[in-house]
Structure 1
Amino acid sequence: MSLWTSKEAAAATAGRAQGDWVATGVSIDTRTLAPGDLFVALKDQRDGHEFVAQALEKGAAAALVDHVPEGVAEDAPLLIVPDVLAGLEALGRAGRARMSGMVVAVTGSVGKTSTKEMLLEMLAAQGRTHASVASYNNHWGVPLTLARMPQDTEFAVIEIGMNHPGEIAPLAKMARPHVALVTTVAAAHLEAFEDITGIAVEKAAIFEGVEPGGIAILNADVETAAILMAKALDCKLRDISFGAEGHDFKLIRADLRDDTTVVQAQMGAEPLLFKIASPGRHFAMNGLGALAVMAALRTDMALAVGALGRWRPYKGRGQRERIYLDVVDTSLTLDLIDDSYNANPTSMAAALEVLAAAPVMNDMGRVSKGRRIAFLGDMKELGSDEIALHAGLAHLPSLQSLDKVHCIGPLMRALYDLLPEVQRGEWFATAQEALPKLKRALDSGDVVLAKGSLSMKLGLIVDAIRKMGHAPLNIEEG
């Protein structure tokens, strides 16, 4: 199906189109480019113009460039603009302008990607839905998502992130949502802000982009909730609050079970019961915020609750899986919680709460007692209080329920030094150094959590644990 013709793209960007072409998608990476995509030659660590010839060879419909690259024919299918990023932004704004459906924008210090995926699951059950891929939420991710949006989209979910002040408002104004959700405000990217108040002000800036008469949805439990509410009022938006202190969507109880969270809540005066197919109080909160969005959009709430029950976290964001350690004896297993994509004090506390509540299996393996084991990596971008914030994890109630805590990175040394001797595992400078000792550290019946900032590469530990597993044989009895 056509996404952009050469004439439409040229009009949107005020660029010059060479050739008569039709793009069915938009790509910024030749590794994932599909035939028919418009390749956008962004300049980042590498100049995308170096890959234009390769993109065209792989079947790109055309390339968005600021000049004819070396090795590319003068009459190649191109869209030439003065600045490629500005051209992508213009294409994104045009994509948003021609779409007549409802748009939701999501931001927050923690949980924005998971909440966006929950909304995608729920809205897809109610109409043609488009959403950000992975964590495409920055200065190029938002316009790319909008540029990829089919014209007949009925619901769109746009994730908006930030690392520094002043990033969210321009992206929100580009997305022009009808509903904007702030999942939470927490200590993340503190090195770029004086304090958490600054983070709240930046998160609240998402409301500046909401369409007139739109709705602001905010977490009433955060200490900076008043800043969010004041911004919603200043932008003349109706606000809906959620959380244990929420006036509109109130969390009553969240029960964490083996592989499920059962949530009791209230929607106004009405009881609201829903399930999430993964344990975690933070998932309950994200789900409640997402359901508030669904109510604001006037969707079918019964359908929404059913779809939310089918959502599961994906790789690196709390995904839980069973690892079979023996090819024949399928009782010899351990459970892995992969939360290796990112970390800050709030998300770390949530992950440790999940691990503390996880049931273990006893009387198997060489240890015979199932254990709760954590591999924790440094939390980055926390500013001048980074050592204290790492040390503070030692005082979390959930930590008392863990059997072994292994720490990775120089900052996590602050936690490691405070751990009781019985809980203290090993300290490693890098994730790579931990790999040779994994098999001896783990056994059947254990539940293992891996969590840290992405740059700490806890994914190496996750991958190594997965490789310890075997696909169980399907042996039929004679």
Structure 2
Amino acid sequence: MKALWQSEAIAKAVEGKASAHFSVRNVAFDSREIRDRDLFFALKGAESDGHRYVDVAFQNGAAGAVVMSPVPYPHILVKDSYQALKALGIASRKRNHGKIIGITGSVGKTSTKESLRLALERSAPGKVHYSLKSYNNHVGVPLSLARMPEDSRFGIFEMGMNHAGELSELTDIVRPDVALITAIAPAHAAFFKDETAIAEAKSEIFEGLSSGGIAIIPHDSPYRDLLTAKAKEKNAEIRSFGFEEGATIRAQNIVRESDGRVLITAAVRDRQLVFSMGMAAEHWVSNAMAVLAIVDAVGGDLALASLALGDITGFHGRGQRFDVPVGEGKATVIDESYNANPASMTATIKALENEPKDKRRIVLLGDMLELGRNSADYHRALADPLTHAEIDHVLLVGEEMKALAQDLAGKITCDWVADAGQAKEAISALLKADDILLIKGSNSLGLSAVVSSLSEKGCACSI
């Protein structure tokens, strides 16, 4: 396997001093993730110090480390290991000549990133680099950049934020050729005056666009004009995606098929594309339009991309489905446990309207966090989509969900529990054969534990 970095190049990029020659094939700051011939960054934070884990990193196979004090192993000595990580990410960006894509938004970032990865890999197998997990913050983004092979044809980087100014720093590191905003919604609303302020903060991604870069905007968003104006300040080419007339890439026609899939006719600038998707919910179709917009912008193969979109059946914590044996039959679980905000929660509940009418619909919803002073109102507002989707039983988890429990009284059968542990017990008693169970909530609530307990006795399945 070709080396990702040589010690001399690392030392030059981070303005450090190498103690010996070594080569590495990956980069990590968590000693538990270190494998043979990896580079370990000993980062020092307020509560932890990576220098305490240098021995562990080398026991796990590290070839070298970036440190702020000498160690008895091959290393590069720097003044600040975090700044060194940023510098290595910037150097990685500079040496790459492929197309770099930046993705942000209040909802759909990771699902769109993963879908785009699969779409581009159809025409460039082994040449698509992308952020792992949700490595989208001030540490994850430079780490993801530092990991990018020099000959990557495409680099896909997810960028997140919960305060104004954070995306400015990240996009300045990534310097995307194409920058996408998936949607604007009240995620992290506790840190912003209103949704307009959120839109302005998300628009910071356009600040880093390279010369001649392309900005891709959600056409149907009420903040379309604001986002367009921000992109024009950088002289970006503006493209859009959505469902309404005027979008550069638009879902013109959607036909629901008998097997639960959808047949989509998409207008992609001057051509039409017809393809089938297993992820039939409206927000997944919107994500698909965003993916096609990016593939078109980077000169990718749209036909192959549409085939990849047709094969997607969700991702772990984001729409993946599996069957669970219950009695003499089985129930279907829809895992949306990774995260939640008002927009994603509403869209996911709405998708249940398309499930078979003869099956009992159960939803397990956990708190939506960081919504600020209007949190109770955002939670109560879920009563309407739950009623519209004809949900049979609602199980609510967490203090914030008490407001919704009160609003649902007398409307839908509803139970409330304090935490994920109690939710696990309640679902075990509640679930019956042929049920459809949706699980969704903010990640820190730990509903993934409920999913894990169910998946241990279940099996993955497609729609």
Give the TM bin, normalised by the shorter chain.
over 0.9
1:38 aligns with 2:39: yes
| Cα offsets for 1:185-204 (capped at 9, x unmatched) | 11101111101111111111
The equivalent position to 1:121 in structure 2, one of 113, 118, 128, is 118
My pick for the range that moved more, 107-116 or 250-259, is 250-259
Q: Matched residues in 2 for 1:269 and 1:5: separation?
A: 46
Report deviation, 1:26.
0.3
Which amino acid in 2 is paired with 1:235? K
In structure 2, the residue matched to 1:155 is 154
The equivalent position to 2:418 in structure 1, one of 402, 422, 429, is 429
Question: Does structure 2 retain, via aligned residues, the 8 Å contact 1:177–1:210?
Answer: yes
Q: Matched residues in 1 for 2:61 and 2:8: separation?
A: 19
SS state at 1:31 partner: helix
In structure 2, the residue matched to 1:286 is 287
Cα gap change, 1:282/1:232 in structure 2, threshold over 3 Å: closer, same or farther?
Answer: same
Tell me the TM-score normalized by structure 2. 0.94
Question: Does structure 2 retain, via aligned residues, the 8 Å contact 1:254–1:281?
Answer: no
In structure 2, the residue matched to 1:206 is 205
Q: Matched residues in 1 for 2:300 and 2:143: separation?
A: 27
Equivalences for residues 288-367 of structure 1 within 5 A: 288-325=289-326, 332-359=329-356
SS state at 2:88 partner: helix
Q: Matched residues in 2 for 1:187 and 1:409: separation?
A: 19
SS state at 2:156 partner: strand
Question: Does structure 2 retain, via aligned residues, the 8 Å contact 1:25–1:38?
Answer: yes
Question: Does structure 2 retain, via aligned residues, the 8 Å contact 1:213–1:238?
Answer: yes
Report deviation, 1:397.
6.3
Q: Matched residues in 2 for 1:304 and 1:190: separation?
A: 34
Question: Does structure 2 retain, via aligned residues, the 8 Å contact 1:256–1:280?
Answer: no
1:14 aligns with 2:19: no
1:454 aligns with 2:443: yes
Question: Does structure 1 retain, via aligned residues, the 8 Å contact 2:179–2:209?
Answer: yes
Equivalences for residues 57-456 of structure 1 within 5 A: 57-68=59-70, 72-73=71-72, 76-127=73-124, 128-245=127-244, 246-255=246-255, 260-325=261-326, 332-359=329-356, 370-396=359-385, 399-421=388-410, 423-456=412-445
Cα gap change, 1:255/1:29 in structure 2, threshold over 3 Å: closer, same or farther?
Answer: farther
Specify every segment of 5 or more residues in structure 1 that has no aligned partner in the other structure, as ranges: 363-369, 472-478
Corresponding residue pairs, total: 455
Specify every segment of 5 or more residues in structure 2 that has no aligned partner in the other structure, as ranges: none
SS state at 2:197 partner: helix
SS state at 1:263 partner: strand
Q: Matched residues in 1 for 2:422 and 2:388: separation?
A: 24
SS state at 1:418 partner: helix
Calculate percent identity across the aligned residue pairs.
40
RMSD (Å), alpha carbons: 1.8
Q: Matched residues in 2 for 1:135 and 1:176: separation?
A: 19
Which amino acid in 1 is paired with 2:449? L
Tell me the TM-score normalized by structure 1. 0.91
| Cα offsets for 1:348-385 (capped at 9, x unmatched) | 0111012232226x5xxxxxxx3100000000011110
SS state at 1:309 partner: helix
